[in-house]
Chain A
């Protein structure tokens, strides 16, 4: 597995394993304050390992090994975060003389003599924060905010650490939701025309909604193709439509379809994803969602998935991490259900 993929998996895992957790009552706050615990340093072989209690380590190949911190906030169904803005950052602490090791993603060869100090020009990391929104099974969402409070300059060995953050969380109330996004199968061959069935609901007043469906690469999240926008005028109650994607010219691999509903002001009202795999015929025969290898994809495989659901995994990935991405989650469930009932050899 390449470094980029490892990094993507790491970031995905990190986002999931939020350190701080906020649960709001009836009405989620739009202002969020985050206080990052003081960092701690331990010195081993003249290298300084920095950690934040309850935090994580940012491991990017060839970059200094710096800590970061994350918080999660649950939003009930019907509220959708649009934007997260860093309003204020305070509590600056500076230090100097630290020798942070470099993150090495590949195994060290026998000629390597330990971890070298971090080699990097200027301050690292370059980002201040990032945020992501996870869609849960029950229609609620979880906002994950990752802050990078610890900056390191490998040339000068200087450190800047910010302790206090204040964010503005913009969200909208939405009565519009995607109630279903399905394909007939989860596994296709490049060149197949793939039909998506999309079900929508608006439990509120009639509203104009625009639906966009894009196909994204599972690892990178990059858009590989997009389907024409669909305008739904005066949507109220239940509605459904189908869309077809011609997968010709797309490389074999893991992808997901993502449907996004926006209002006429551009606010995102809801999103939903469905995984799909494009495999060559030869690979297709080798793939198996039959986790317990009993020759059939059924409730026992579902039971195994359920027993490990929400867990993280590491290489060599167990069979129940079906897409082998380091997490047992909805994507694995969708892959299994897509092949439910199949009988293998």
Chain B
């Protein structure tokens, strides 16, 4: 390969690298929303908790709305409690639990001003009951939608979401 061509390839590689880095740093500033299970393997009739953890990155978080889907033939939501992310006494929004469709929607907002960046914390704790009739296997708990409002009370544009999988065993 000629020197000119090598330089051109090198330039393209460097440019692609820069674009990748800039994409990762833009928008949500490294924000993420993830599910964390209290126990990765549970048995029928047992309960387990799922924490909705929010890493705000460099931003403030003034409100959160999550919609989760689960397998209603296997588990049911029994309780949803606020975490510490939005303060001790957040303003309650919606709490819609549909144990027939297998969905749960929950939203809260902070009362007062929002600290920037907001420390990473748990937004909500969802308690599931595994049904007696549950069949063994791995079951997905996934986000169907997530909304974060920043300290300017506007959408956080880019953030990562990560669901979880619970193993039902005997």
Interface residues in chain A, defined as those with a beta carbon under 8 Å from any beta carbon in chain B: 137-138, 292, 298-300, 302-307, 309-310, 333, 336-337, 340-341
CB pair B153 A304 closer than 8 Å: yes
Chain B binding site: helix, strand, loop or mixed by DSSP? strand
Which residue of A137, A138, A302 is within 8 Å of B107 (Cβ)? A302
Answer yes or no: B113 CB below 8 A from chain A CBs. yes
A306-B90 Cα distance, complex, nearest whole Å: 8
Instruction: Look across to chain B and name the residue whose beta carbon is closest to the beta carbon of A291.
Output: B153
Chain B nearest Cβ from A121, distance in angstroms: 47
CB-CB contacts of B103-118 with A at 8 A, as 1s and 0s? 0000111111110000
Instruction: Look across to chain B and name the residue whose beta carbon is closest to the beta carbon of A341.
Output: B94
CB pair A300 B154 closer than 8 Å: yes
CB pair A303 B110 closer than 8 Å: yes
CB pair A299 B147 closer than 8 Å: yes
Stretch at the interface among B20-28, B39-47, B62-70: B62-70
Interfacial chain B residues near A302, Cβ < 8 Å: 63, 65, 91, 93, 107-109, 149
CB pair B154 A299 closer than 8 Å: no
CB-CB contacts of B152-170 with A at 8 A, as 1s and 0s? 0111000000000000000
Q: List 11 interface pairs A-B (beta carbons < 8 Å), by A numbering.
A: A292-B153, A298-B147, A299-B65, A300-B155, A302-B107, A303-B149, A305-B91, A306-B62, A307-B111, A309-B111, A340-B107
Interfacial chain A residues near B114, Cβ < 8 Å: 307
CB pair B109 A299 closer than 8 Å: yes
A303-B113 Cα distance, complex, nearest whole Å: 10
A340-B94 Cα distance, complex, nearest whole Å: 7
A341-B95 Cα distance, complex, nearest whole Å: 12
CB pair A300 B94 closer than 8 Å: no
CB pair A305 B89 closer than 8 Å: no
Which residue of A137, A138, A300, A310 is within 8 Å of B63 (Cβ)? A300
Chain B nearest Cβ from A275, distance in angstroms: 15
Q: Shortest 6 CB-CB distances between A and B: which pairs?
A: A306-B109, A303-B63, A299-B65, A303-B149, A302-B109, A303-B62
Instruction: Look across to chain B and name the residue whose beta carbon is closest to the beta carbon of A340.
Output: B94
A336-B147 Cα distance, complex, nearest whole Å: 17
Instruction: Look across to chain A and name the residue whose beta carbon is closest to the beta carbon of B63.
Output: A303
Chain A binding site: helix, strand, loop or mixed by DSSP? helix
CB-CB contacts of B75-106 with A at 8 A, as 1s and 0s? 00000000000000111111000000000000
CB pair A307 B147 closer than 8 Å: no
A307-B65 Cα distance, complex, nearest whole Å: 16
Which residue of A137, A307, A333 is within 8 Å of B62 (Cβ)? A307
Which residue of B89, B90, B91, B93 is within 8 Å of A340 (Cβ)? B93
Interfacial chain B residues near A310, Cβ < 8 Å: 111
CB pair A299 B64 closer than 8 Å: yes
A308-B92 Cα distance, complex, nearest whole Å: 14
CB pair B63 A299 closer than 8 Å: yes
CB pair A337 B94 closer than 8 Å: yes
Interfacial chain A residues near B94, Cβ < 8 Å: 337, 340-341
Chain A nearest Cβ from B151, distance in angstroms: 9
CB pair A306 B112 closer than 8 Å: yes
Instruction: Look across to chain B and name the residue whose beta carbon is closest to the beta carbon of A320.
Output: B153
A306-B107 Cα distance, complex, nearest whole Å: 12
A223-B10 Cα distance, complex, nearest whole Å: 80
A204-B94 Cα distance, complex, nearest whole Å: 29
Chain A nearest Cβ from B85, distance in angstroms: 13
Chain B nearest Cβ from A153, distance in angstroms: 45
